């Protein structure tokens, strides 16, 4: 087994027995059932402190199904859940990049599904303990299980005699596990001392209430000014306000548990890939240095070129790492911003950004919502890696076909592609500029109209000197046949570059208009939006919360129960008369909305009536 330190490679002798033990230990952890029995025991203990709704009269409603994480509308325990995802980094890297599955090709998909399910089972107790209603036993079981998991992974690193790069990667997992264990200890102590209680996540959140209050306030008028300075100031204030909402305030615009989990996993994989890139760079540089030394010993030509190649690879890796990091962070921000804007549009009932032919049934929307979080992680990671490779290759090509030949460090023959392409491109742009100048001066009549934006005047599209224009069209016809081939290649390259930037974004369709329904990931994003709309609409949630509170206040000791989320020892009750009144009001409102013609005859619901024009009574 090899350990890399700087550019010097040393070999650590590992006995065959240790190698076999490491292999068996690794297979038991990542591909076997080594941790599964402990996970099932911990899950069973946690389930004893959960209450179920199905047949709750049997065994006092226990055991129940634990809640590992709330991806739908959860906002509590977001940081703790993100740290718990940090514990899964090693398993994710093994399954994504270094997994070795020796099964029949027809069974690979099934085996991968079982492995990911096994991973979820291994880490299920940590998430369940973080969100357990029992602060004492949940913290105790969570601490013991996390401590056991830490010892298992540390033992693997010791048995396999891993290099320093492995411990740099494992540090993230270790820090996450230490944070979670400290959190469990803190919760256990505060629960024992009766200084904290577990509070279940309420149906309505304070940010949703504030959002509804803002809707009831008259909006401020926004007058667009022509002053550029004022526009810049206004835009800067808007960006600052959005930054405060995203980072400082617990509002609707703050990252939910889903968003925080997605970004955490992506950043952890980015960190791992960053270290791996530098490790590969060191290995490549060391190999090229040895090759250059061999050439120098044998007095062969090419030693200088090998050193240049090593330097180019090093610089290309640095540039690709920097640009791919900017790409990743930019896409994470843009995805978050676009998702927020689309949700607010759907809250207002605006469907203008959704193609008309993109329709999903309700069951398909639920399936798409299940897929969204995992697919968004994979798209961000895949787009980041693809962009990094593309930048690395582009840097190599730019170095050898442009920069190095100009610096006289490589033969001038490398400049031939640039000498062939660059003059033609320059000539195309110059010819286009000349033709635009001639068209504006010769082929347009001297009649001026207001432009579409209304800010300046331009000549009317009335053709002048028609015969000259037709002759010019004839002579340029054959030339544009030739240049059309280059434009075709340029069009394809432009599409590739644009789609490369949007690979990570599921909120943007990559297919042309009319074919969006064949973009599976875009349809997944639309399904996620619809589920968010129906389950987390702030107006609906606040309205339901107000109805439940009013029902509790008006009739708390009647016979008819209300079907709603409730505590274990308390039921929300209301009378049959009040139930009938509420149902009649809702049905009447729905009838008036669906039948606008009846609104004119409604006397009690004046808000549905259309405004009538005032009549002028003439007095004779």
Domain membership flag for residue 390: yes
* DSSP conformation letters of 23-85: HHHHIIIIISSSSHHHHHHHHHHHHTT---STTTTGGGG-S-------TTT--TTHHHHHHHH
Domain boundary among 192, 211, 232: 192
pTM of the model: 0.75
Asked whether residue 138 falls in the same domain as residue 62, the answer is: yes
Asked whether residue 584 falls in the same domain as residue 518, the answer is: no
| Count of beta carbons in the 10 Å neighbourhood of residue 53 | 11
Q: What is the pLDDT of residues 296-313, one digit of tens each?
A: 777 667 778 888 888 899
Domain membership flag for residue 570: no
Q: What is the pLDDT of residues 241-264, one digit of tens each?
A: 655 555 444 444 456 788 888 888
Asked whether residue 469 falls in the same domain as residue 336, the answer is: yes
Domain that holds residue 579: 575-620
Asked whether residue 496 falls in the same domain as residue 438, the answer is: yes
Domain count, the chain: 3
Domain membership flag for residue 214: no
Domain membership flag for residue 335: yes
Contact 569, 552 (CB under 8 A): no
Domain membership flag for residue 566: no
Query: In this prediction, what percent of the chain has a pLDDT beyond 90?
Result: 8
Asked whether residue 77 falls in the same domain as residue 30, the answer is: yes
Contact 562, 574 (CB under 8 A): yes
Q: CA–CA separation, 148 vs 157, rounded Å?
A: 15
Domain boundary among 192, 214, 244: 192
The rounded radius of gyration (Å) of the Cα atoms in the chain is: 33
Q: What is the pLDDT of residues 53-86, one digit of tens each?
A: 777 777 777 788 888 888 876 667 778 888 888 8
Q: What angle do CA 69, 75, 77 make, to 5 degrees?
A: 60
Asked whether residue 175 falls in the same domain as residue 301, the answer is: no
Contact 71, 258 (CB under 8 A): yes
| Count of beta carbons in the 10 Å neighbourhood of residue 485 | 9
Q: What is the pLDDT of residues 409-449, one digit of tens each?
A: 888 888 888 888 888 888 888 988 998 888 888 888 887 78
Q: CA–CA separation, 367 vs 378, rounded Å?
A: 17
Asked whether residue 532 falls in the same domain as residue 579, the answer is: no
Q: CA–CA separation, 610 vs 589, rounded Å?
A: 15
Asked whether residue 530 falls in the same domain as residue 582, the answer is: no
Domain membership flag for residue 149: yes
Asked whether residue 299 falls in the same domain as residue 440, the answer is: yes
Domain membership flag for residue 223: no
Asked whether residue 513 falls in the same domain as residue 596, the answer is: no
Asked whether residue 521 falls in the same domain as residue 591, the answer is: no
* Highest-scoring range by mean pLDDT, 19-23, 215-219, 532-536, 577-581: 532-536
Question: For 605-609, what is the mean pLDDT?
Answer: 52
Question: For 267-293, what is the mean pLDDT?
Answer: 85
């Amino acid at each position: 087994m090899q350990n890399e330190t700087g550019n010097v490679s040393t070999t650590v002798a590992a006995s065959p027995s240790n190698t076999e033990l490491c292999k068996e230990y690794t297979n038991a952890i990542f591909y076997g059932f080594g941790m599964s029995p402990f996970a099932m025991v911990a899950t069973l203990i946690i389930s004893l402190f959960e209450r179920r709704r199905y047949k709750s009269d049997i065994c006092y409603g226990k055991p129940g199904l634990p809640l590992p994480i709330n991806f739908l509308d959860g906002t509590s325990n977001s940081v703790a859940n993100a740290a718990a995802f940090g514990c899964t980094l090693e398993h994710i890297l093994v399954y994504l990049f270094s997994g070795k599955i020796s099964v029949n090709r027809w069974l690979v998909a099934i085996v991968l599904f079982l492995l990911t399910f096994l991973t979820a089972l291994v880490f299920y107790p940590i998430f369940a303990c973080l969100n357990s209603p029992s602060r004492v036993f949940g913290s105790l079981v969570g601490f013991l299980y996390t401590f056991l998991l830490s010892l298992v992974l540390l033992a693997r690193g010791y048995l396999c005699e891993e290099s320093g790069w492995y411990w740099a990667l494992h540090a993230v997992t270790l820090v996450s596990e230490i944070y979670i264990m400290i959190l469990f200890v803190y919760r256990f102590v505060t629960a024992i001392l009766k200084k904290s209680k577990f509070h279940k996540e309420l149906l309505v959140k304070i940010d949703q209430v504030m959002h509804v209050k803002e809707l009831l306030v008259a909006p401020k008028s926004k007058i667009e000014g022509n002053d550029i300075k004022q526009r810049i100031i206004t835009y800067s204030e808007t960006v600052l306000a959005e930054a405060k909402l995203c980072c400082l305030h617990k509002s609707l615009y703050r990252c939910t548990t889903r968003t925080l989990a997605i970004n955490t996993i992506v950043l952890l994989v980015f960190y791992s890939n960053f270290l791996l890139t530098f490790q590969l760079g060191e290995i490549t540089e060391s190999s090229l240095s040895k090759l250059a030394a061999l050439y120098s010993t044998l007095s062969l030509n090419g030693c200088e070129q090998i050193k240049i190649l090593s330097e180019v690879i090093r610089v290309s890796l640095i540039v690709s790492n920097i640009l791919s990091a900017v790409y990743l962070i930019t896409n994470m921000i843009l995805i978050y911003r676009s998702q927020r804007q689309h949700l607010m549009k759907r809250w207002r009932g605006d469907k203008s950004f959704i193609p008309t032919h993109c329709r999903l049934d309700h069951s398909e929307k639920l399936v798409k919502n299940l897929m969204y979080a995992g697919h968004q992680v994979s798209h961000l990671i895949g787009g980041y890696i693809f962009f990094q490779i593309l930048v690395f290759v582009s840097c190599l090509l730019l170095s050898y076909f442009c920069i190095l030949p100009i610096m006289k460090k490589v033969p001038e023959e490398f400049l031939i592609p640039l000498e062939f392409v660059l003059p033609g491109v320059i000539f195309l742009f110059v010819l286009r500029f000349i033709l635009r100048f001639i068209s504006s001066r010769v082929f347009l009549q001297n009649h001026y109209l207001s432009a579409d934006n209304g800010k300046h005047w331009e000549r009317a599209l009335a053709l002048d000197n028609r015969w000259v224009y037709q002759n010019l069209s004839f002579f340029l016809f054959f030339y544009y046949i030739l240049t059309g081939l280059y434009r075709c290649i340029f069009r394809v390259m432009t599409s590739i570059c644009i789609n490369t930037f949007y690979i990570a974004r599921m909120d943007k369709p990559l297919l042309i208009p009319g074919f969006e329904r064949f973009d599976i990931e875009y349809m997944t994003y639309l399904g996620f939006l619809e589920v968010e709309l129906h389950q987390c609409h702030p107006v609906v949630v606040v309205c339901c919360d107000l109805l439940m509170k009013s029902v509790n206040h008006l009739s708390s000791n009647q016979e008819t129960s209300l079907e709603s989320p409730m505590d274990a020892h308390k039921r929300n009750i209301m009378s049959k008369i009040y139930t009938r009144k509420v149902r009649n009001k809702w049905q009447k409102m729905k009838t008036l909305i669906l039948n606008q013609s009846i609104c004119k005859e409604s006397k009690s619901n004046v808000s549905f009536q259309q405004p009538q024009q005032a009549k002028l009574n003439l007095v004779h």
